[in-house]
Chains A and B, each alone.
Chain A
């Protein structure tokens, strides 16, 4: 068990900066997730912690120890790889025991630990097999088992679920969360999948092009994104964005996108004291766009006309892609409608924005204009 500190860590490959001035403190027993699109530096960050990549600038600490020049084997870490990286010429038992043997663990102890880990993962009857005789899901569990038996201070996982099919992935996700609770060890997990990040992480570190965009709890990332990138990355379907200007009209805050003008209720407007008169990016999540007929009670709405372009029936909801009815070539909006609505493709309908949950970002810096973090709608 140990905390992990990235102290202004930078990684350059030649002229390319893969990770730029990463400054994070991971607490003991925390489940931290690095998430971001491919090439954002999340794997590199993990590999630097593992000792598989050199650190160009800055320091990495595990516990109180600076590990910049410590070999991977002496860092007290275990890692699960995306490709699992099992040793093909060894049995499952030997795969799991390999690290312990290298550490001169007594034979009996090795046996005990391997069997214990195998039992907890449900792979005890596979111990004599070789990796090529296993299914993808089994291999994934062996890879996890190989890490568990080591009883490391920090677990590193590099997209360990991305090679599983959708159903197995959901199962394995829950298993890893359970494992984290049971082992009470620091986990650092890399994924490009925001669902994995949201469901597993106690905190999530969103990276883009090697830069830390936001580090926060899943709910805070969702409710209070610091910038346009995080707002667009977290949530599926993604948040809708429009360029707009903000002005004051009769004491109300009005957001004007050129196509429509909506009034921000005073209770929410007070979160954006600096917004008046600014060029902004107006953001609204799909679930905050309603069919006026099925608007939840107690919210402040603003109605806007829009043309139904495509409807996706999801069963529990309808994803409605809206094009603006007046002009073509505009960024369409996506809305999650109540399943009872009957949108007809081609029709112009009225849609209701939940104005209590809108987001405003500075158009040039793309940073959130929001001050304070209490939700308006509760």
Chain B
């Protein structure tokens, strides 16, 4: 990004003297960035240390010895491998469910003129504004009644349902930016409404879908609260809730927990970088003039 802005803002006169304002600005930004990164760096360092080293020298000291054992024991002894799998089992179907249900409703809300269109739209938005504290008890009781408590399905259903509002909101607004003429052209070409949705609207919404998928993946994957409310069995726990169990009542092996946490962040990082290239803006470019 930095190099890009440099090439874009061509400077007519070559600068010889140091611009002190630039230096101060750069220094301030660098300091802020480093400050912001402190927890991450300390976690990274901690994950390579032994508990013994920490006990002797304290958290804020340079490591005396470096080891990879923490990652191994987090993965095997700490069950992070199992927890991670659970996370995926919960996150991926939720993601599919959200996008599967929100795209048609977004298309309908974006493109059809019908009575109560506005009302439904606001309902979707309003749903996302409900504070989770209000939902905790009802959702807990509902999953009990439905016999879903302490199953993967409890979390999958909850996340799908609760994120549907936000997904619909985002996609509806994106779909409204697709030129109506393209849809009309498809209508004249011989599409029914479903085919327009499937063959025209969905492909054109890919950038929005990619952005949404990344965001939702992160949210669902990182969810802790609902995981501890709706899941009881250790064997079903997603990684967020699972990591917490590594914390003992009297002794806590910090390096192992931190190593597990670092492993747990990897999927979201990978998803982000994998989908990043789909964030191409202006996919509709070229359809018109």
Contact = CB atoms under 8 A, between A and B. Distances in A.
B189 A73 contact: yes
Interface string A276-302: 000000000000000000000000000
B283 A79 contact: no
Interface stretch (A82-90, A170-178, A209-217, A341-349): A82-90
B191 A73 contact: yes
The 5 closest A-B pairs by CB, nearest first: A132-B286, A85-B181, A99-B189, A102-B190, A131-B286
Contacts of A103: 190
Contact of A83 (B189, B206, B287): B287
Contact of B187 (A52, A86, A131): A52
Given A79-B185, A81-B181, A102-B195, A86 B287 contact: yes
Contacts of A132: 285-287
B111 to A, nearest CB: 13
Interface stretch (A61-69, A133-141, A196-204, A332-340): A133-141
A85 B182 contact: yes
A190 to B, nearest CB: 13
B287 to A, nearest CB: 4
B192 A73 contact: yes
B39 interface: no
22 contacts: A47-B184, A50-B184, A50-B188, A52-B184, A71-B187, A71-B192, A72-B184, A73-B190, A73-B192, A81-B181, A81-B185, A82-B181, A83-B287, A83-B288, A85-B185, A85-B288, A88-B204, A88-B283, A89-B203, A103-B190, A139-B289, A146-B185
B58 interface: no
In terms of DSSP, what is the predominant structure of the interface of chain B?
helix
A36 interface: no
Contacts of B185: 79, 81, 85-87, 146
B186 interface: yes
A134 B288 CA distance: 10
B206 to A, nearest CB: 8
A150 B189 CA distance: 8
B188 A79 contact: yes
Interface in A1-53: 47, 50-52
A318 interface: no
Contacts of B203: 89
B188 A86 contact: no
B279 to A, nearest CB: 16
B284 interface: yes
Interface of A: 47, 50-52, 71-73, 77-79, 81-89, 98-99, 102-103, 130-134, 136, 139, 146, 150, 156, 163
Nearest to A80: B185
Contacts of A78: 188-189
Q: Which of A51, A81, A86 has the most CB of B within 10 A?
A: A81
A175 B288 CA distance: 20
Nearest to B180: A85
Contacts of A163: 288-289
A81 B186 CA distance: 11
A77 B206 CA distance: 30
Given A52-B187, A85-B182, A102-B190, 4 more contacts: A71-B187, A73-B187, A89-B203, A98-B186
B286 A139 contact: yes
A54 B280 CA distance: 37
Contacts of B184: 47, 50, 52, 72, 79, 81, 85
B200 interface: yes
Contacts of A72: 184, 187-188
Interface of B: 179, 181-182, 184-192, 195, 200, 203-204, 206, 283-289
A85 B287 contact: yes
B121 to A, nearest CB: 21
A87 B190 contact: no
A89 B200 CA distance: 8
A81 to B, nearest CB: 5
A102 B289 contact: no
Given A83-B288, A84-B287, A88-B283, A77 B186 contact: no
Contacts of A79: 184-185, 188
Nearest to A133: B286
A85 B191 contact: no
A91 to B, nearest CB: 11
B286 A98 contact: no
B177 to A, nearest CB: 12
B203 to A, nearest CB: 4
B223 to A, nearest CB: 33
A88 B284 CA distance: 5
Nearest to B283: A88
Nearest to B200: A87
Given A73-B191, A73-B192, A102-B195, A87 B288 contact: no
Contacts of A50: 184, 188
A156 B289 CA distance: 18
A89 B189 contact: no
Contact of B286 (A51, A52, A134): A134
Contacts of B189: 73, 78, 98-99, 102, 146, 150
Contact of B190 (A88, A99, A136): A99
A130 B204 CA distance: 14
Nearest to B185: A85
A132 B289 CA distance: 10
B283 A89 contact: yes
